[in-house]
Amino acid sequence: MKLYSRSQVVVIVCITIIAMLVLCSGMFAIFRVRTGEKTEELPVESEEIQEEPKYSDTPVFEFKTSAPDQVKKVDLDGYSQEEIQNITVYANCKDAVVNITTEVVAVNWFLEPVPQSGGSGSGAIIDKRGYVVTNTHVIADAYRIYVSLADGTQYEGTVVGSDTASDIAVVKFTPPENMELRTINFGDSAHLKVGQKVIAIGNPFGLERTMTTGIVSGLGRPIQSSQNTIIRNMIQTDTAINPGNSGGPLLDTNGRIIGINTMIYSNSGDSAGIGFAVPADTAKRVAAELIQNGKVRRGSIDATFVQLNSSIANYAKLAVNSGLLVQQVAEKGNAAKAGLKGGTEAVRYGSMRNSQVIYLGGDVITAIDGIAVNSLAGYYAALESKKPGDEVSVAVLRGRKTEVIEIVLTE
C-alpha cells in the first residue's frame, strides 16, 4: 500500500478541484454554444419539415414535336384518294416508329445470373428529346432496353416511368446532337366514331415498320389485362395487330396518334381481327405525368376492402354477391368523415392454410361515379383518372338500402 504525505494530499486535492472547475466551465460553454446553434437553426429545420415532394396535379409537360416543314412530301400522281391517304400517313410517320428489344436476366444451371434475349415490341417517338411511348408489358423485367430507329441505328434506352394501370410506359434514349428526330403528335380519342378508318404501324414478328389498316370496331371497351387491372375505354379495331405490334401507334387518317396498340383477342395468338388500343387521351395524360413526375399519382379511398363472392355474400346474408366489402376505415380520414362504415364482426375465411380474418357488417361499395365496381380491378379502373383531392360519388349498400356518399380521395 502506497502512503502519501500531507503536502502531497493537499496538492492532489487542489489539482482535482481546478480540473473539475475547468471541465464544468467547458461543458457550460459547450452547452451554451449548442443551445445557441439550435435556436438559430430552428427556422431552417421547420422549413425542411414542411417541404414535401411537389407534383403537378395537371401535367404541364409540353411535348417538343417535329416542325411542320419537316413533314415529308411525296409524289401522289396516279393513286386513288384512299391510297394517297395511306401513303401520306406512312411517309410522315414511319420514321417516328421504333422497334424496342429487351434483355432480361436469367439463371443458368450453376445458379449464375446470365443475360438473355427478352421480348420485343414497338413504340412511337413523341418528343424530339428522345421520349418514346410504349406499353408497360413490352419493357417489363428488362435488364437492358434497345431502341432501333428507321435508319438502322440503335440506342440503349432507359425507363422514365411505367404505369401498370394503363399499360403505358415511357422510354428515353439520347440521340446525337445533330440528329433531328421525327415525332408523332397525339390526336383526340374522345371524338372517335365507330367505322372511322385507322392505321397501325409497328413491328409484328420483327418485320419493322409494317403498316396495316382497318376501322374502329368499338369504343369504351373495359378490358381486363391482369387479375387486378381493368383498362377502361379501350378502342377496339379490326386492324391487323400481331405479336410485336404492342406499344406501336394507332393513327387516324391525319397521322395523329389516337391509340397505343396493346393487346389482341385470339385463340391462336395471331390476329383474329379483334385488337385493342389504349386511347390517346389516356396515353398522353399518363406519358406527360411519367415524364414530369416519374410516376402517376392516383387518388384512393382510405379504407381496406375484400372482394365479395357468393360464399361471403351468402354467409353474411347480403343482398348482392359482387362489389367491395369495406373492412376498416382510416380513423379521422376522408372516408370516415364522409360516413363510410367498416365491418365490426371478425370471422375467419378460407381454407386452414390460407385463411384470413375478414370483417362483416360494413358497407358494400357497388359503384364509383356511376361506374359499376364488381371487383378490386373494377375499383382501380374507376379511379384510374382520379387524383388525390378529387371528390367522387360512392354508391354503397348499407343493409338493404343503397346510399350515395361523397368522398374526397387521398393518395
Pairing of the two strands 401-408 and 391-398: antiparallel
Grid coordinates given for 43 = 427556422
- Residues with catalytic annotation? 137, 167, 246
Could you say which DSSP state residue 321 is in? S
The residues, any chain, with a CB within 8 Å of residue 127's CB and separated by 6 or more, are: 63, 64, 65, 183, 291
- Enumerate helices (H) and strands (E) in the chain, giving the number of each: 6, 20
Find, among 228, 10, 238, 203, the residue nearest to 100 by Cα. Answer: 203
Grid coordinates given for 377 = 380491378
Residue type, 83: E
> Quick one: CATH architecture of 197-293?
Beta Barrel (2.40)
Cα diameter, the chain: 126
Instruction: Specify whether the CB–CB gap between 97 and 91 falls below 8 A.
Output: no
Say what the pLDDT of residue 38 is.
37
Residue type, 80: S
Say what the pLDDT of residue 390 is.
94
Find, among 198, 130, 162, the residue nearest to 286 by Cα. Answer: 162
First to last CA, the chain: 75
Say what the pLDDT of residue 205 is.
87
Grid coordinates given for 192 = 372517335
SS3 378: helix
Instruction: Specify whether the CB–CB gap between 154 and 115 falls below 8 A.
Output: no
Rg (alpha carbons) of the chain, rounded to whole number? 31
Gap between the Cα atoms of 231 and 278, Å rounded: 8
SS3 218: strand
Say what the pLDDT of residue 21 is.
57
Domain borders along the chain are 81-172, 197-293, 303-408
> Quick one: CATH architecture of 81-172?
Beta Barrel (2.40)
Find, among 133, 123, 128, 118, the residue nearest to 100 by Cα. Answer: 123
SS3 31: helix
CA 216: distance to chain centroid? 26
SS3 7: helix
Q: Match domain 303-408 to its CATH number in 3.40.50.720, 2.60.120.200, 2.30.42.10, 3.30.750.24.
A: 2.30.42.10
Grid coordinates given for 90 = 406512312
Pairing of the two strands 197-202 and 210-226: antiparallel
Grid coordinates given for 45 = 429545420
pTM for the predicted model, two decimal places: 0.74
Gap between the Cα atoms of 15 and 375, Å rounded: 81
Instruction: Specify whether the CB–CB gap between 256 and 197 falls below 8 A.
Output: no
User: Would 81-172 and 197-293 be classified into the same CATH topology?
Assistant: yes
Gap between the Cα atoms of 170 and 89, Å rounded: 23
Instruction: Specify whether the CB–CB gap between 102 and 156 falls below 8 A.
Output: no
Residue by residue, pLDDT tens for the chain (411 residues) are 444 455 554 555 555 565 565 555 444 333 333 334 333 332 333 333 334 444 444 456 788 887 654 555 566 778 899 999 999 999 999 999 999 999 988 887 887 888 778 889 999 999 999 999 999 999 998 989 999 999 999 999 999 999 998 999 999 999 998 899 999 999 999 999 999 999 999 999 888 899 999 999 999 888 877 766 888 899 999 998 888 899 999 999 999 999 999 998 876 666 667 899 999 999 999 999 999 999 999 999 999 999 999 999 999 889 899 999 999 999 989 999 999 999 989 888 877 777 888 999 999 999 999 999 998 888 988 998 899 999 999 999 998 899 999 999 998
SS3 335: helix
